[in-house]
Amino acid sequence: MIYHVLIEPFVDYGFMRRALVACLALSLSTAPLGIFLLLRRMSLVGDALSHAILPGVAVGYLLAGMSLVAMGIGGFVAGVLVALISGLVSAHTKLKEDASFAGFYLGSLALGVTLISLRGSSVDLLHLLFGSILAIDSPATVFVGIIASVTLLLLALLYRGFVMETFDRTFLRVNSRLTPHLLHGVFLALLVLNLVAGFQILGTLMSVGLMMLPAVSARCWAKTLPGTMAIAVLCGLFCAWLGLAWSFYAALPAGPAIVLTASGAFFVSILFGSRSGLAWSLYRGGLLISKGVK
């Protein structure tokens, strides 16, 4: 039964194998980034940047059609520009970084949709907004794998710096050659790079789902940073596999199915996680109320 449901589709169909490999690679690299976003209280910044890459993707589409390389380069440039401009605005005005991101990403989203509409059809627009994971080809899978590998390598090399920059910037300034601004810039560049990889799979609107939902779920269970990252990665891998499997049998869009599966894991973690335990809290509250009534 387990073989038939969870393994057989990936053995019999090449497009399912490519989709699974791309999702697994993306889960390995995006889950640790999601943890750092969560710890920095920048969870919605990832969502903002996933929208901000759309104008660059649209420009690449207008110039080269459905070329993954052109759209990827365009999306990366657009995302980095929005991140840099938002940082400058927050540094020289009274606006905080999340407010400046919100202002720029809304305009970027509208501009991207407008540019795509100039030449493309509604099918092209839906492809870019929501992805087409089951149509991913071998070059796109290699592209995602390279980005995941580069991300993991840089995270391993700069792990201590990222941790210090997240928790204590003053300590980082005193005890490291790396400045907080440099590390923050590298982190945002990695974030944009992974969102560019994710738009081909889940689209620009939902690529952040595989980044943040496993990370939030892991925070409900683990107390240490390495443990949280490990659980987030495993959760992302499991949700990608399960989401693809049930979308295959239920004839549902694969991208939304993966994000819905991750959302289900999030709700289960909130209810039963060792660090959240909402179900136990509600149960104890009900007992206290019942005893009070008696």
* Dist. CA 83–CA 262, nearest whole Å: 27
| pLDDT value of position 212 | 92
Q: Which two tokens stand for residue 43?
A: 């969870």
Q: What is the pLDDT of residues 35-88, one digit of tens each?
A: 999 998 888 788 888 888 888 888 888 888 777 778 888 989 998 888 888 878
| pLDDT value of position 288 | 57
**Region of poorest pLDDT, from 50-59, 71-80, 247-256, 274-283:** 274-283
Count the Cβ atoms, other than its own, within 10 Å of residue 274. 11
Phi and psi, residue 170, nearest 5°? -65, -45
Is the confidence at residue 239, as pLDDT, over 70?
A: yes
CB 255 within 8 A of CB 131: yes
Q: pTM of this prediction?
A: 0.88
| pLDDT value of position 65 | 76
| pLDDT value of position 291 | 63
Q: Give one DSSP letter per residue of 254-292, joined into a string.
A: HHHHHHHHHHHHHHHHHHH-TTT-HHHHHHHHHHHHHHH
| pLDDT value of position 25 | 93
CATH code of 134's domain: 1.10.3470.10
Q: What is the pLDDT of residues 175-193, one digit of tens each?
A: 777 788 889 889 989 999 9
Q: Give one DSSP letter per residue of 33-80, joined into a string.
A: HHHHHHHTT-HHHHHHHHHHTHHHHHHHHHHHSS-HHHHHHHHHHHHH
Count the Cβ atoms, other than its own, within 10 Å of residue 288. 10
Domain that holds residue 241: 2-293
The residue with greater pLDDT, 168 or 242, is 242
Count the Cβ atoms, other than its own, within 10 Å of residue 238. 15
Is the confidence at residue 261, as pLDDT, over 90?
A: yes
Confidence of residue 226 (pLDDT cuts 50, 70, 90): very high
| pLDDT value of position 198 | 86
Angle at 75 between CA 193 and CA 191, to 5 degrees: 25
CB 180 within 8 A of CB 173: yes
Mean pLDDT of the chain, nearest integer: 84
The residue with greater pLDDT, 116 or 21, is 21
Mean pLDDT across 17-42? 92
The total domain count for the chain is 1
Q: Which two tokens stand for residue 47?
A: 């969502």
Euclidean distance between the first and the last CA atom of the chain, given in angstroms as a whole number: 49
Q: What is the pLDDT of residues 128-153, one digit of tens each?
A: 777 778 888 888 888 899 999 999 99
